[in-house]
Structure formats: structure tokens, C-alpha cells
Amino acid sequence: MLTIVLVLTILFQFGLVCWLLFKKTTADNITQPKATNTPQTVGSFYNQTTDNFLAVYGEIIQAFRTNNVEDYLNYTIQSMQLKDGMKAIDAGCGVCGPACHFATVVNDLKIDAITVSEVQFEKSRAKIDERNLQNQVHVRIGDYHKLNEIFKKESADRVYFLESFGHSNDKRKVIKAAYDVLKPGGKIYIKDLFLRESENEWEQQRINAIAEQINAAYEYQIADLHEVVSALRQKGFLIDFIRPPQVERDKFEHLTISNDFQNLFNIGKIESWDDYIFPIDFYEILAAKPEHITSEDMHLYFMNRKEK
């Protein structure tokens, strides 16, 4: 009897090990190699593809938008709380379509725009001149991981990333650099795509694999929302909100532009809809650099309590 129990136990354990090994191999097969983009590869990507983007997207290179894209830009102004007379940094400005719109709508707004692509820099300059916005929008070529080397510390009211943050290969560094250049009370705004999550393990593997294909096609590293929130809070930012962009369903553009782009230029084209799972969610995050160092305030609070 004891022998039978022993044999059954061994067989069960052997079966379990085989099953675990099989599961791991299947998962490994699905997972694609990790993205290897750098600011340099992102720059070359946009040098080669900006004309294609302009042909399909127009001067606003964002997938999540409303049918009337100006409505979406006006929504963005409200969302990031852009006010008259502010100084903003547009980190990953494209061809300055958004920056030129913001500068036209918000009085006396000053924007320092930065792109890592020479082609986009030239096109931005032409647009700024054409719209006579030289006093309000200034563009340069540069890497937003180094905002704190390029701009004066504590000089900006807003640092914003419109579908540009996900190109970063070191998101903590970007967040630190943004923190340094923000005035106390200034805010970082990030609107981007984030990896979707599923409670189903197979679905999650598919999501990860499809996201990796997008990363490879667009020189992207789709962000993990948890990691970004954690990096913001560790740096000392206080989160104002995290939410999907608040767009009415009948005004939403439904991402057909990005599909058209993929099909037309064969970049990141979806080859098969079998087992396709939409791999991302769009979110916007607004977070403030505190006016005061919160930990010091709390320290005083405890000191006061002790004195009583």
C-alpha cells in the first residue's frame, strides 16, 4: 500500500514539473524580445517617418484624439491646467502642432519645445515662423532625459508629454529631470498609452507580446502605470489625478487614424486578428511638485505634537 502511495506521489510530482515546464515554454514562445530603443534610434525613426505621420495624422501626432483634433487640444489645456502667462516645456513636441495651438489660445504662454528629431526641429521652426509665434514658442533639438541640463532649475510651471513619454528608455530619469526644472507648485502632465492588465494569464501573455510588437515598430517602451506612479511618488510628486482622457464617446476618433497609418506605411501593421487582444489603455496623469517639502511639514507636525 505504502509503495503504491509513494509511486503515485512521484508520478504526480513528475506530472506537475512537466506541466510547469510546458507552460513556461509556451509563455516564452509568446513573449517577444524586449525593446532596445534609445533617444538616438527614436530620433532616426522620426527623421525617416515624420512625413508619413504628417500625411495621416496632420500636425498633431497623437493616436488618442477627438474627431475635431482642436477640441482635443483645448481639452488638454484644461486638463493640464495651462493658464495665462505660464512657462511650459513641451517634452517631445513633434512638429510643434500642439505647442502652436496652445500659444495661440492661452495668453502670454511661453513654451520651450524639445524634440529628438532634426527633421521635426526644422518643420517646427518653419511652423512657428509661419504663425508668427517666435515670441511664445521656442524649439530646440534635445533629449528630454536631460531637461535638467538644458533648462534652468525651477523655471517651468508645466512640463508636459503628449504621447511622447513612452519613447523613453529610462522613465525614472525623465521624471527626475522634469522635477528639477519645475518650480515648486509646478506640474508634470503625461498623456500616453500604458500596458493593459488582465486577470487571465494567457491574455496577459498576449497583451505583453502584442505590446512588444508595437514597441519594436515605433521605437517605444510602453509604460507600466504602476511603475510610473511609483517613480513619480518616489521623486516627491503628489498625484492630482490619473484617469482616461475624458472624451465623449460620439466625439472620440476611435483610433482609426493609427490603423490607417499602420496599413498605409506597414509600420506595426496587425497581420492577424486571431488571438488579437487590445494591448493598451490611454491615461492622463497630472502630478504636482509640492510647494513645500511635505516630509518636513510632517516632521514639524510631530515636533509640535511632542511639545504639547
Ligand X SMILES: C[S@@+](CC[C@H](N)C(=O)[O-])C[C@H]1O[C@@H](n2cnc3c(N)ncnc32)[C@H](O)[C@@H]1O
**Is residue 24 within 8 Å of 101, Cβ to Cβ?**
no
In whole angstroms, give the CA distance from residue 52 to residue 183: 37
Contact between 145 and ligand X per CB under 6 A: yes
Identified binder of ligand X from the candidate list 93, 111, 137, 210, rule CB under 6 A: 93
Stretch that binds ligand X, among 9-17, 22-30, 157-165, 229-237 (CB under 6 A): 157-165
Is 167 a binder of ligand X (CB under 6 A)? Answer: yes
128 touching ligand X, by CB under 6 A: no
Contact flag: residue 164 with ligand X (CB under 6 A): yes
Q: In the set 46, 102, 189, 283, which binds ligand X (CB under 6 A)?
A: 46
CB 11, min distance to ligand X, A: 55
268 SS3 class? coil
Task: Name which of residues 22 to 41 contact ligand X (CB under 6 A).
Answer: 39
Q: Which of 42, 82, 231, 257 binds ligand X (CB under 6 A)?
A: 42
Question: Which lies closer to ligand X via its Cβ, residue 59 or residue 203?
Answer: 59
Give the shortest CB-12-to-ligand X separation in angstroms.
Answer: 52
Q: Which residues contact 194 (CB under 8 A, 6 or more apart)?
A: 222, 223, 224, 225, 228, 280, 281, 282, 283
Torsion (CA) 128, 132, 136, 139 in degrees, nearest 10: 20
Whole-number minimum distance, CB 139 to ligand X, in Å?
10
Q: Which three cell numbers stand for residue 200?
A: 487571465
Q: Where are the beta strands (DSSP E) in the chain?
A: 87-91, 110-115, 137-141, 156-162, 182-195, 238-243, 280-288
Q: How many residues does the chain have?
A: 308
For residue 24, what is the enclosing H or E element?
helix 2-30
Those residues whose C-beta lies under 8 Å from the C-beta of residue 260, and which sit 6 or more positions away, are 56
Figure out which of the listed residues 100, 101, 106, 143 binds ligand X, where binding follows CB under 6 A. 143
Q: Which residues bind ligand X (CB under 6 A)?
A: 39, 42, 46, 60-62, 92-94, 97-98, 114-117, 120, 143-145, 162-164, 167
